[in-house]
Amino acid sequence: MIRLLILGVVGACSFFFGSILHEENDVERERMIQNAVLSILDQAHFNPVDLNDEFSDEAFDEFLQYIDGRKRFFTKEDLVKLEVYRFELDNQAKIGSLAFFDLANELLEKRIGEAEVLYQDILSKPFNFDVNESYEFDPDKKDYVSNSVELRDRWRKALKYDVMIKVESRLKRQEEDPDVEKKTFAQIEESARKDVRETYDKWYKTFKKVKRSDRFEAYLNTFAHLFDPHSEYFNPKEKQDFDISMGGKLEGIGARLRTEGDLTQVVHVVPGGPVWKGKQIEVNDLILKVKQKGEEAVDVFGMRIDDVVSMIRGKKGTFVTLTIKKKDGTIMDVEIERDVVNIEESFAKSAILNAPGVIENIGYIHLPKFYSSFDGPDGNSCAVDVAEEIEKLKENQVNGIILDLRNNGGGSLRDVVNMSGLFIKDGPIVQVKPRERKPYIYRDEDDEVRYTGPLVVMINSFSASASEILAAAMQDYQRAVIVGSQSFGKGTVQRFINLDRAVRGNSEFKPLGEIKISMQKFYRVNGGSTQLKGVTPDINLPDRYSNIEIGEREYPHAMGWSEIAGLEYDQDVLKVMNTDYLENKSSERIKQSETFTKVKEQARLYEKNRDQTNYSLNLVNYRELLRKRDEESKMFEDFMSKELESLQVSNLPQDKTAISLDETTVASNQEWLSDIRKDIYIQESLNIIGDLIKSPSYTKVEH
């Protein structure tokens, strides 16, 4: 294991940096940041990795993947020049050398210039769509080309595919809309080529603005991501944007983005924002194009993330259309009306659920995230808010409570401990273990129990971190029934370290930015980690992603699952002793449900479409593929868009005055209630808590 120049998380580096002050300031600064980042990773990361030849080998491939993910620039001739560094990146890092990075950057700039001439020439001539050839989308299924001749053919196929999509779309519109001006195929093809040319022209104009510093930061994060996918370097502006995004107010569409290779990926959907309300865009979706109302769509492939964000942001009431690639490979256009995201819509809120003839008067609490802010007199705490919702539900004498943590990506550790304590008297909630040290045990030390009745906790594949802590604790204590799908599996804790504090002196190079680093892991009270495995629900409900791998286990270099000693824990508030009985009852309902049957069929379709990465460049064959896909997808149109007759939902009497204060609040509330009425997962959770309440012989209750 390396020991670089920083002897602690915050140590002295100035003696090293002083020896290379003759270098140009930008290069000097890069070396300073590289040294500090790698030193801190080595000293503070929960599971540090050795900087050796194996590390170098992986970093080499990862960086090439980042700068040429689609293998459309480099040739094997370039790789021969770069290969001499394959097992030298570790040694270069130790001495502060950037020789590999400099050469890769130089070769890339050269190939980018050549490709600009290439695409312009290729798009100057018509394509023949009668030829039987195909284009492979998945870069992992193809090798780098051997020479410039093969490189030209790869670009030809990629551009031909882009043109074919536009040709097909315009042919279809011309066939279906009698009011559309009729054009010959040659005119349509020429127009499509022109549009693709304009898209690439704009992309290249933006691409040329990519700075050396942008690629250097990607190079740094190549190293950081080999430690784990959540550790990464943030330049000062990125850290500022991160802080803004975690604040109380977000503008635009309500989604956080990041660069994934050459693409832009949705990594977080802000509860209450336009994207969240639209329900068409989800975490892990890729943004391919951005279109302003009344303008042509702009291809954002390879574009700077700052530029993508600036195109998407805009004034409230204006519209932007995003071309989205879904997890299953489906491509769709989504129009979004920009808005100011009200932080109140991210807060906990509750309602009353009824299923006539099945179960009556059940409380429902929706918690989008584990928020917490005590920076001022107006600070908030989700644990305090949930406690208040529970008190209101108790005033309405509810027979049980459903706590919905679906799509909740986590947040405050303190709040998840306090919230878990609302349902038990006292005891350990989670173990947080630093590297090479004993775990800290976070306990509920308040013996007050806010709610003693039946409890169901809903989770899904996007319930992560703090959500998994609460669900795991309630499961281990047998305090609640956990319902849904396997959770995300993020069992690591990140902290920011300011590099300015780690590097003494050298003020002329600061600010240096910060590094987000995984320093701890979560462990359940039973000793098992939530990392990778997540939380397995007591009752599994099928969803559209059932056949697709989702979560932490998808990430390369994710930290592994591990186990430590369990703790003594017990509670005598209410114990769920009959999960097998409840699971069997639910399983029978699922089998008889037409909607859940369609969900399973949709999951199989998602899996099939995701696995198809090779597309015909023969227009007839391509149109036939789209026709079949349209037929397959028709059976899923609006199948979960109707309100369920058997599910009734109403606001709490205590909330009605606040809800009626303005039209926006009224409309937002009506939409929320309507969404609940359409939710088959809430309906089944209601059935499950009904089974639990009706089978007291299977539960043990002591007061």
| CA end-to-end span of the chain | 54
Which H or E element spans position 614? strand 614-616
The one-letter amino acid at 374: F
pLDDT-wise least confident of 274-278, 564-568, 582-586: 274-278
Tell whether the model's pLDDT for residue 697 goes beyond 90.
no
The 10s digit of each residue's pLDDT in 320-376 is 999 999 888 889 999 999 887 655 566 899 999 999 989 999 999 999 988 886 444
Instruction: Identify the CA nearest to 468 among candidates 546, 557, 537.
Output: 537
The 10s digit of each residue's pLDDT in 606-621 is 888 888 889 999 999 9
Interatomic CA distance for residues 481 and 451, integer angstroms: 15
Give the angle subtended at the CA of 87 by the CAs of 81 and 89, to the nearest 5°.
Answer: 90
The 10s digit of each residue's pLDDT in 107-164 is 999 999 999 999 999 999 999 999 999 999 888 899 999 999 999 999 999 999 999 9
Give residue for tokens 């099939």: 608
> So what's the pLDDT on residue 662?
67
Q: What band does 210 get if pLDDT is binned at 50, 70 and 90?
A: confident
pLDDT more than 70, % of the chain: 91
> So what's the pLDDT on residue 364?
98
Q: What band does 25 get if pLDDT is binned at 50, 70 and 90?
A: low
> So what's the pLDDT on residue 317?
87
* Helix 99-122, helix 148-176: angle, nearest 10: 50
Preceding amide of 511 cis, omega within 30 = yes
Ramachandran angles phi, psi of 332, nearest 5°: -145, 155
Cβ partners under 8 Å of residue 527, min gap 6: 431, 563, 564, 565, 566, 567
Give residue for tokens 């349209």: 630
Span 40-57, average pLDDT: 95
**How many residues does this entry show for the chain?**
703
- Mean pLDDT score of the chain: 87
Tell whether the model's pLDDT for residue 602 goes beyond 60.
yes
Tell whether the model's pLDDT for residue 257 goes beyond 80.
yes
For residue 289, the cross-strand partners are 299, 323
Q: What band does 517 get if pLDDT is binned at 50, 70 and 90?
A: very high
CA torsion through residues 589, 592, 593, 597, sign: positive
Span 263-283, average pLDDT: 83
Max CA separation in the chain (angstroms): 81
The one-letter amino acid at 521: K
For residue 135, the cross-strand partners are 615
- Asked whether the beta carbons of 511 and 459 are under 8 A apart, the reply is no
> So what's the pLDDT on residue 22?
35
Interatomic CA distance for residues 513 and 233, integer angstroms: 7
Instruction: Identify the CA nearest to 370 among candidates 379, 361, 353, 383.
Output: 383
Span 455-460, average pLDDT: 98
For residue 186 the two structure tokens come to 């040659």
DSSP secondary structure letter of residue 405: -
